[in-house]
Structure 1
Amino acid sequence: MKRFNLAQSLLGCTVFSVVLTTGCTNSQQDALYSKVIDLGRGAVNLQVEQAHMRDVDMTYLERKGSGPAVMLIHGFSANKDAWLKFANELPDDYHLIIPDLAGHGETPAPINGSYDLEQQAQRLNALVAHLGLTQLHIVGNSMGGAISSIYTTIYPEQIQSLTLMDAAGIDGANKSEYYQALENGHNPLIATDKESFENRMQMVMEIQPFLPWPLRPAVMRDTIERVDINREIFADMIATRTRLSETNFPELLTEKVKVPVLIMWGEKDRVLDVSAVPVFKHYLPQAKVVLFPEVGHVPMLEIPEKSANVLAEFIASIQ
C-alpha cells in the first residue's frame, strides 16, 4: 500500500507543477492519467499481457506468484485497473489475473459482436487454459459477479472459491435507486456528458476516491467516449439476465456451486440493493457474508484495504 500511495504523491507534485506553470491540454491530461495507471500497476508488479481468446484479443494484467491463483473480474463499464488498489493490499505471493472483459478497457469488441455473459465466461475460461491453470479463486464485482457465478456453474471443477462483491445476477426484495431510474427510461451508469458522469460517480460510490484535476477530466472523456459500446454491452447483459431468469439460474447455483463462497456488499449500494444478499445466501447457504456500512457499489475502490483483507482471510481459511 505504501509504495502505491507514494507513487501517486510523487506524480501529484509533478501534475500540479505543470498545471500552475503552463496549464494542461487534453492530451497532457490523458498522458498524466496513463502515467498514474502505469505507476499503480508497477507498484503491484502487474504486467500487461495480451492473447487471443476465442473471438477477441484479450488484454489482462498478471502477477505470477507461488501462492493461490486469483482472478478478479470487473463490472459493467469498468476495466481491469479498477482493482489496482485492492490488488496492492493482497498477499505478495498471489498469482493475480485481472482481465479486461470483451468491449472494456483495452480489450476490443469481439469478432461476433456479442457481450452475452455466458460468452464472457467462456472467454475467461480460454484465458485460464492459456495460462495453464487448473484451479483458481474467482472474484467478481457487479456484472463481474454475475459472470463469476456463471463461470462457476459451467466449470465447477476449476473453482476453489467464489467471491461475489455487490454482484449482479439475483435481485433482492427492495428495488434499488438504479433500477427505479431504469424503469423511468434512464440508465445512470452510461455517462453521456459531464453532468451524467458526475451523477454516475455519485451513484456508484458512497466513498469517493481521490481523483484530482487534471486526472478527472481524462477519466470523464474516456467514459463518455464509450457511450455507444456501453449501450451495446448493457443490452446484451440485460438479455442474458432475462434468459437466465427463465432457466431458473438461482437453482442452478445451488446445484452446481459446492465450493466455499464469500459475499461482500456495501450497505449503501444504490445500484444493486443490499437486500439481494439474503437471496444469494438462500441459494448459496455455505456463503460467508460480510457487509460494509457506509460503503457503496464498489468496495474494492472505496475501501480497498479492508475488502482485500476480508478476501485474503477467506482464501487463507480454505487453503
Structure 2
Amino acid sequence: MKLIILLLTLSLTACADWQDTLFELGVDVERSMSNLSEHSVSTADHEWVYLSTRGDVDPSAEVVIMLHGFAVDKDNWIRFARNFPNHRVIIPDLPGHGETSYNPELVYDFHNQARWLNDFIEQLQLTKFHLIGNSMGGGIAAYYAHDYSDKVSSIVLIDAAGVHPPQQSKLQQIIENNEPNPLIIRTESDFDRLQEFAMEDQPFLPWPASGVLARKSMARQGINDKIFADINDYAERVKVSKENLKVLSEIQQPTFILWGKEDRALDVSSVQVFEEYLPNASSFIMEGVGHGPMIERPEESAALVLGFLKSLERKVALEESL
C-alpha cells in the first residue's frame, strides 16, 4: 500500500512538473510575441526580476513602466504591452511578488514599495518615464509620482488602490465580514472563483494554465497574507489621517484614470475620489469590464492609454511651437 501511495505521489509530481514546463513554454511564447525578455537586478532590499523591450531600442523612445496588482506578477501585462511597439517597456515583479524576492521583516505598504521601486529604477538608470499601475500597482504609482515627481512624465491609474470609494466594494464587504479573502488562493478551486470575482470579461486560459497558476498562488499564500495585511493596515490608518488624499492633491503630473465598471474589488465610485483630489486628471470607465481591463480587453485598454499619451505629445509639441 505504501508503495502504491509513493508511486502515485511520484506520478502526480511528474505530471505537475510537466504541466509547469508546458506553461512556462507558453509564457515564453507570449513574451516573445510582445518583444519582451526577462532580466534581473539587485538593490539594497530585494532581488528584482523584470521584463523589458528586447533588442535595440530607439534612444528617443519614451519609457513606460507597468506595475501589476496584488498577488499577481509581471506577466499580467504581456498582451497589453504588445500594443506599445514604439515605447521602451519595463515591467517588474514588485517586491514579494512573482520572482522578485520577499523579506518578512519588511512592511509592504505603498510608501516603502514606492521607495523600493525607486531603488530599482535607479539601478536601470531611468530618468524620465510614464507610470502605469493596476490595483496595488496604481497605489504605488501614485505615491511614486508624489515622492519622485521629477522623474514621472504622467501616470495611468487602472482600477487603482489608494482611496476609500463612496460605494463600498464587494471585496470590502467580504473583508469586513471576516469572510475568506477571494484574492488569496488556498485551494485550486479558489483560483476559478478568483477569476470570476476579479474579471467580468474573462480571457480564455488554455490548459494547463489554471492549475499551474493555482499551485503557484497556493505556494505563496503566507506571503500574500502578510502583504495584504500591510496594505490593509495602511488603508485603515489613512481613513483617519487622510494622508492619501493629501498625496493625491499634490500630484501635478497629467493623470489618466481607467476603470472597469463592474469592478468588485475596488468599486468604480473610486473614480470620483481620484478626480476630486488629482489636480490634472481625466478618466474613462469601461462597460462590461471588471478589475483588470488590461487583461480582459488588452487592445481596447491599450488604445485608450496610448490615446492619452499621444495627447500629451501633442500638447508638448504645441507648447514648443509657441
Task: Mark yes or no: TM-score above 0.5.
Answer: yes
Structure 1 segment 1-319 matched on structure 2, within 5 A: 25-63=15-53, 64-65=57-58, 66-90=60-84, 92-110=85-103, 112-186=105-179, 187-319=181-313
Deviation for aligned residue 1:189? 0.6
Task: Name segments (4+ residues, structure 1) moved above 6 Å.
Answer: none
Q: Deviations over 1:228-252 (max 9, x none)?
A: 1110111111122233444323442
Conserved 8 A contact 1:55-1:111:
no
- List gaps (5 residues or longer) in structure 2: 1-13, 314-322
Deviation for aligned residue 1:225? 1.4
Structure index of larger Rg:
2
Deviation for aligned residue 1:106? 0.5
Percent same amino acid among aligned pairs?
38
- Which is further off, 131-140 or 263-272? 131-140
Q: Deviations over 1:45-97 (max 9, x none)?
A: 2121111122000111111443111110000001000000000112x121111
The 1-side partners of 2:108 and 2:78 are apart by: 24
Q: Deviations over 1:130-164 (max 9, x none)?
A: 12111111011001111111111111111110111
**How many matched pairs?**
295
Q: Secondary structure at the match of 1:306?
A: helix
Letter in 2 for 1:205: M
TM-score (norm 2): 0.88
Q: Secondary structure at the match of 1:148?
A: helix
Deviation for aligned residue 1:207? 1.0
The 1-side partners of 2:248 and 2:89 are apart by: 27
- Which is further off, 228-237 or 245-254? 245-254
Q: Deviations over 1:16-73 (max 9, x none)?
A: xxxxxxxx92111111110111111111221211111220001111114431111100
Deviation for aligned residue 1:312? 0.8
Deviation for aligned residue 1:254? 4.4
Conserved 8 A contact 1:250-1:283:
no
The 2-side partners of 1:243 and 1:180 are apart by: 18
Q: Secondary structure at the match of 1:258?
A: coil
Letter in 2 for 1:172: P
Residues 1:251 and 1:114: Cα distance change in structure 2 (over 3 Å)? closer
Conserved 8 A contact 1:153-1:252:
no
The 1-side partners of 2:48 and 2:194 are apart by: 26
The 2-side partners of 1:114 and 1:250 are apart by: 17
Q: Deviations over 1:270-314 (max 9, x none)?
A: 110101111110001421111100000000000000001111111
Conserved 8 A contact 1:56-1:111:
no
The 1-side partners of 2:185 and 2:116 are apart by: 27
- Which is further off, 64-73 or 101-110? 64-73
